[in-house]
Chains A and B, each alone.
Chain A
Amino acid sequence: MENITEAISLSRRKFLKNSGLTGAALFLGFYLPVSAKAGRIITDTALNNLEPEIEMNAWILIDTSGKVTLVDHRAEMGQGSFQSVPQIISEELEVDLANIKVIFAEGNQKKYGSQITGGSSTIRGSYKNLLTLGASARELLIQAAAAKWNVPASECYAKSGHVFHKPTGRSFHYGELVVDASKLEAPKNVKLKPRSEYTLIGKPLHRRDTPLKTNGSAIFGLDKRIPGLVFAVVERNPRMRGTLKSFDESAALKIPGVKKVLKIKMAVFGTYREGVAVVADSTWTAMKGRKALKVEWDDSGFTHMDSADIYSQQEEALKTNEGLSLKKQGDPDSMLSNAENKIDIMYQTPYQAHACMEPLNCIAHYQEKKLEIWGPIQAPDWVQSFLSKEMNLPMEDVVVNMTFLGGGFGRKAFLDYPHEATLISKEIGLPVQVTWSREDDMTQGPYRPGVTYHCEGAVANGEISAFKFRMAGQNIDHWQGTERGKPNSSTTEGFLASYYDSIKNLSIADVPFETPIPIMWWRSVYASTNGFAYESFMDELAIAAGKDPLDFRRSYLKDERVQKQIDKMEEISGWKNRKKNEGYGVAITECFSTTVGQVVKVSRDDAGKIKIDQVWVVMDCGWYVNPDIIRAQVEGSIVMALGAATIHEITFKDGLVQQKNFYDYNMPRITNAPPVELYIMENDGAAGGVGEPGLPPFTPALTNAIFDLTGKRIRKLPFDLTAI
């Protein structure tokens, strides 16, 4: 990039090393939006004497031997970017996926655009650029070949890493063309393949990270090692925002291997949390040292919440406060006051922990005003800019490397743990890996906020005459410093826009609610809780209207794509052929530009317990890359939703989190996973998300099915599936 003039040595050489390139290499680094300036050449001799202007953060790298390296600019936390990003680029670049190498990008928003792996945005946010990138590189290589042969480019085509001259059958491999190609200007307005010509995109290809994950060779954050690394754990203020009064490290320092004990202060969005770090020669020694600490905290200056208070305050606010309006059409209030049968319901959803299988951890190496980070990081570009600001370092002196992530779900987009590792490294002058124990991970937040919903409605003549929806829960945006006093725009997340066209009297409002508890995105964010309220309420309205719940939704969701989706749900679930002693429930939600409908079937087993027999999923995510990855994401989303609906609740007592580990925050196990059948709608719509949208409809479809079977409405989560 234009303004990188210093600091090339360390990370750039390492980049070359990591990509394993030999000989001269072509680096195709495209800027966003894709511009004409494309090819750069680097030669053997230059490897140790890099030109400052050389674009190192390229997306495509080809060396003279024809070796192709593609860069995955997003985190790989299980959602499949390590496969799907190269699968897209290779489609247009015309290279064999089996013969390429994939490496993770460093954090750098200027080069890659947003890298935050959240909002199910890896594909939907990048795919057009990735396609154009691949096609532009291919065209450059074709032009270079055509020039060498002195033939029109239109007589040449690319396939499997080669350019062929159609009339004569001559060919060059890409490596033979990189030197020439690097001197060309990248073409403007490259033509992209129509979907019908795709050979890779749309195919359920194997994930290239799978073999790494079956023999222990995938390097997660916790597995990363660098020379001279020391290990640390931190005793943090258990009330998440408090400070440190005093500590006694004498016993800890007597433990062989404990090197240093120090106070640290890490950022928690707009505020800070204090703790005591124990640095040792191994993680376990550091853990032993931590147990020997004596620490006194200062917990003044903020409210110590109890869960019961949170929910009663939310309920109270929803009774009296009309909130900040997000959407209003017609006059739902007067319709409600005139209604004969008003439906007035509250729904409640709990705080949730992300509980990634890989607890938080991060390596930081701070040296001579340079900082390098390695870790399971969802937002390397955010970490880079945050630490640049926080540590007062120029952006280019903060290098952020992603490893594989052992789960993310939103938690690893938070910036506290890289900050903490950085502070420790700076203080001790050594590279350090900070590991959070499972208990740290569970008790320190941030959490998905607990939310109470107040839904009021009325039906007349079998139709919705009023629909009033209010939400009271913490606003995640506030933690990120956005202006207060505005409604939480996420209040409508999960709700299908198509309803606005058909429900005449409707209002949606956010009743502001704050606590000192740190909160953060949790897979599918507000749709994960809103979806339960919206789609439970829709079901209650359908029953009140005396209508079939699926038909009822169909009569309101007039959007053509949704109509087709509902037809498909009806077809694959056998909705019309439901038998006695079977409960069927339906829910349809929108999340990150993807609409997902689910039908859940429940029955009672021999012991009389509720059993989830089947989940049918119909997903409309528009343009998509890899249907098997989508299937995996949907299967996993349903298990995560099942845990959130039937097991999980983070509770607070005097400002302390009461759950600590899997013994009191148990996970669904293999016995609990219900069978899932997925159908992906085929259409030419723009790409929607796939990592999260499968989650929100599951819970309401399940509770609606339970109502269908038992007549019992579930309005508060979590509920005990075995006790119905």
Chain B
Amino acid sequence: MKLHSEIKSHNYLPGKTMIVLTLVFSMIALTSSMKYKSDFHMSDTADGVKKDSIESVKAFMKVYEVLMSPRCMNCHPAGDAPLQGDDNHVHTMNVVRGPDGTGLYAAKCSNCHQPTNVPGLHTPPGNPKWQLPPANMKMVFQGKSPRQLALQIMNYNLNGHRNKAQLLEHSKDTLVKVAWNMGEGRTPPPMSYSAFVNVWNEWINKGGYAPKQ
């Protein structure tokens, strides 16, 4: 692949340039990403935007701030237990990811997390798809440097097998959006959702470069 070698020469992005923001990859998404995998060609003028490593990295650093905020990171933990709260403490009740990310046995995410938020403080935030990344594609944010996280998101084999278009689309996923609507008392990510989509798109469209550190 052209892109592949190009990026390698820049020594920025190993492997396939795929990204995923979130939390979750449904089986449908996985299947469809396989289908489109070979269709993806990033070029200098993809979507009419010129590649620009400096601007791309700059945009990613803003993306990073969002991804490392509790609203995103808490479901992308280093371990198998989700985190809670603005202080990223380990989720009480000993809940764990489970093979497909939806929890285990009598402790499945959707047992408490409803399709919508429950009114009041300290109630479970809601989303119809609430879950962690699956065990075979953990997409860890916690503890990752900007460079590590960018590389991980760009890695087709780690990002849920998403091509560029799917990555761009992914920012519109309901489970991404939920970070900005997590019920009472939870600090939202450090920028608005639309600002986030802008920097996300800018990062990817300008080449999906990873910072040096």
Contacts and interface: CB of A to CB of B under 8 A. Distances in A.
Touching chains A and B, CB distance < 8 Å: yes
Contacts of A660: 122
Interface in B139-184: none
Nearest to A663: B122
Nearest to B85: A663
A671 interface: yes
Contact of B94 (A661, A663, A664, A671): A671
A293 to B, nearest CB: 16
A665 to B, nearest CB: 11
A669 B94 CA distance: 9
B92 A666 contact: yes
Interface residues of B, number: 4
A661 B92 contact: no
A669 B122 contact: no
Interface string B111-148: 00000000000100000000000000000000000000
B28 interface: no
**A interface, over-half SS:** loop
A525 to B, nearest CB: 29
Contacts of B122: 660-661, 663-664
Nearest to B92: A666
Interface in A650-696: 660-661, 663-664, 666, 669, 671
Interface string B93-116: 110000000000000000000000
A493 to B, nearest CB: 33
A663 B84 CA distance: 11
A322 to B, nearest CB: 44
**B interface, over-half SS:** helix
Nearest to B94: A671
Interface in B56-89: none
Contacts, number: 10
A671 B92 CA distance: 11
Contacts of A664: 122
Contacts of B93: 669
A83 to B, nearest CB: 29
Nearest to A671: B94
B40 to A, nearest CB: 42
A25 B122 CA distance: 56
Contacts of A663: 92, 122
Interface residues of A, number: 7
Nearest to B119: A291
A585 to B, nearest CB: 26
B66 to A, nearest CB: 25
A669 B95 CA distance: 12
A142 B63 CA distance: 89
A669 B106 CA distance: 14
Interface string A606-618: 0000000000000
A657 to B, nearest CB: 15
A289 to B, nearest CB: 15
Nearest to B93: A669
B118 to A, nearest CB: 12
A661 B94 CA distance: 18
B159 to A, nearest CB: 30
Interface string A263-284: 0000000000000000000000
A488 to B, nearest CB: 37
Interface in A620-676: 660-661, 663-664, 666, 669, 671
Interface in A481-519: none
B79 to A, nearest CB: 11
Interface string B184-198: 000000000000000
A664 B85 CA distance: 12
A722 to B, nearest CB: 10
Contacts of B94: 669, 671
A522 B92 CA distance: 26
A189 B122 CA distance: 62
B34 to A, nearest CB: 38
Nearest to A661: B122
A661 B120 CA distance: 12
A278 B119 CA distance: 20
A304 to B, nearest CB: 22
B84 to A, nearest CB: 9
Nearest to B123: A663
A243 B142 CA distance: 49
A669 to B, nearest CB: 6
A663 B118 CA distance: 15
A174 B93 CA distance: 53
B192 to A, nearest CB: 28
A669 B90 CA distance: 14
B184 to A, nearest CB: 13
A666 B84 CA distance: 14
A405 to B, nearest CB: 25
Contacts of A661: 122
A666 B122 CA distance: 13
A660 B185 CA distance: 15
A661 B185 CA distance: 15
B43 to A, nearest CB: 49
Interface string A126-137: 000000000000
A518 B92 CA distance: 30
B186 to A, nearest CB: 13
Interface string A440-469: 000000000000000000000000000000
A645 to B, nearest CB: 18
Contacts of B92: 663, 666, 669
A128 to B, nearest CB: 46
Nearest to A672: B94
Contacts of A671: 94
A669 B81 CA distance: 16
B68 to A, nearest CB: 24
A162 to B, nearest CB: 48
Interface string A399-420: 0000000000000000000000
Nearest to A667: B92
B134 to A, nearest CB: 24
A680 B144 CA distance: 54
A51 B92 CA distance: 60
A669 B92 CA distance: 9
A660 B120 CA distance: 12
B116 to A, nearest CB: 18
Interface in B5-60: none
Given A664-B122, A666-B92, A669-B94, 7 more contacts: A660-B122, A661-B122, A663-B92, A663-B122, A669-B92, A669-B93, A671-B94
10 contacts: A660-B122, A661-B122, A663-B92, A663-B122, A664-B122, A666-B92, A669-B92, A669-B93, A669-B94, A671-B94
When A and B form their complex, which 10 residue pairs have the shortest distance between CB atoms, in order from nearest? A663-B122, A671-B94, A666-B92, A669-B94, A661-B122, A669-B93, A663-B92, A664-B122, A660-B122, A669-B92
